[in-house]
Structure 1
Amino acid sequence: MSRRDCLLAALVALVWGLNFVVIDWGMRGVPPLLFLALRFCAVLVPAIWLVPRPTVGWRVVLAVGAFMSLGQFAFLYLALDVGLSPGLASLVLQAQVILTILLAAGVLRERPTTAQAVGVGVGAAGLLVVALGRGGSVPLLGLGLCLLAALSWAIGNVVARSAGAVGGLSLTVWSALVVPVPALLLSLLVDGPAGVVAGLGAFGWEAGLSTLYTAGLASLLGYGLFNGLLGRNPSAQVVPWILLVPVVGMTTAWLLLGEVPTRGELGGGLLLVVGVLVALRGGARRVRRRGAVVDGPPPVVTAPHS
């Protein structure tokens, strides 16, 4: 990855790390699936009329929307709603790092180097140390829902990479078409019409600010940059940067919500950073050995329009 892409990846990690606290703050009193539908309505309007359609087929657009947006955030919002803390959610969701690299190796034949594998292993060990540092007080339902969110995100990562989706912002906006209607229907099913009406009545200024952040920064800026990075670089070089998200998430949860991290969490966070550095160093060595031009765009795979 180029230096510019490394800085962009770090920015994405910062925005997404803070996102967990912002979601938890804004969702109070609003059903999670309704809150998700409103978030992605804000992503679509007015961006859908300003951003051109991505140069990939509808199958790719719908698949990215179904997995990276609808699946990931429906499970995540439900996990937070049943009691999983924002700091811990930011950690558990990073299981997508391991899942993405495994899926990319099997589906895209992007075999990680030895150094990258070691880096991911160190990062995974850091995740385990942080999880154990919580003292075992974890709601199992919330944990399971968050792991499903991680799997959905990993599938979306591989779909975006396999399509060579260089138009990160356009793919983010147009794939958001998948989210609002299914999320609203699921909210009506889970919460009932009365619950949805009550949730709309509870939508105050806190929920409004949270929606603006999650739609404008986390979705449009964050996923626009992230999908663009996946379109220019192998998944094994981009995804390890997201191991920094739980470090930001736990730090902001500590400062803003009083979730004081334990020594195990702090030590695990350090391991995460080390894992990122080792994995990225291994990827850079492979690129140099092959004499590749790291700033050049990859071949664009265009799926048939349907």
Structure 2
Amino acid sequence: MPDMRLPVNPHSLEIESAQACELACLNNCSCMAYAYDGGCSVWEGDLLTLQQFSQSDSGGGNLFLKLSASELSSSGSKKGSLIDATVGVILGVVLLLGSVISLFWWWWRRNVFGPLNQTGGFFVQFSYRNLQIATKNFSTQIGSGGFGCVFIGTLPDSTVVAVKKLFEGLNRGEKQFRSEVSTIGMIQHINLIRLHGKDLEISDWKTRYQIACGTARGLTYLHQKCRDCIIHFDIKPENLDPEFCPKVADFGMAKLVGREFSRVLTIMRGTIGYLAPEWISGAAITAKADVYSYGMMLFELISGRRNSDL
């Protein structure tokens, strides 16, 4: 309290600084006020004859009152409550806007894609517009072949997919693609997935052994575990993922053979260097054609080089 006539009956302390005088009052539970004007004065109990001078008068001093924490926190708590309320409102608005944006994005994706219709119990049917959105207009190509290119995409449920887009004007490519889709749709196995290929630059024998066993497991599943026997007709060492996990892929040449049949007559199909002798002799083809191709792949896996320069 500035410009005050100091109360009567002070207690004088031999202290030579204002900070020490303040500390002496704070440490004394009975001290109600203090003043420092070259000397330290403290008051205990009631403060009598307290009066504030006008600005034109002189002779007043500064009196420091000691108040309880509850008296000091009233205004601070109101200010703190106001700040808390403001922060709460801002956070609420941000969360509400985030929820609205997320809901709108989900609604937009769902309505653009529309209901995903299953056909034949196996497949989900997408429109061309669906696939354009999923692949960002086919912007990221991850593979290519003789009949089309493969692009990476993301479905509304965040599933990452590979989308194959055929070259225009290739009727044969569409027929092969439909055959591949029909075959893949009927099987599911850890070693039967469509992935990128790599060459045979592998030095680790443990890795080579794992590739040989994994490919064999995939073929066994095709030949013996499916409802219908599936002859792949194009086994070769291009189907390894970045971790060298073997994947039997490219089912465009595959053929389903009923369990009541042990062999099939069909046009020649496959890759030079892996074709079984039956194709040349004109004999009926069995699942052993895949075993021959697998054997040729094993030779390459062991030797570390191709069986042909073609």
Normalised TM-score (structure 2):
0.24
Higher-Rg structure is: 2
| Structure ranking higher on relative contact order (CA contacts 8 Å, 6+ apart) | 1
Normalised TM-score (structure 1):
0.25
Higher strand share: 2
Higher helix share: 1
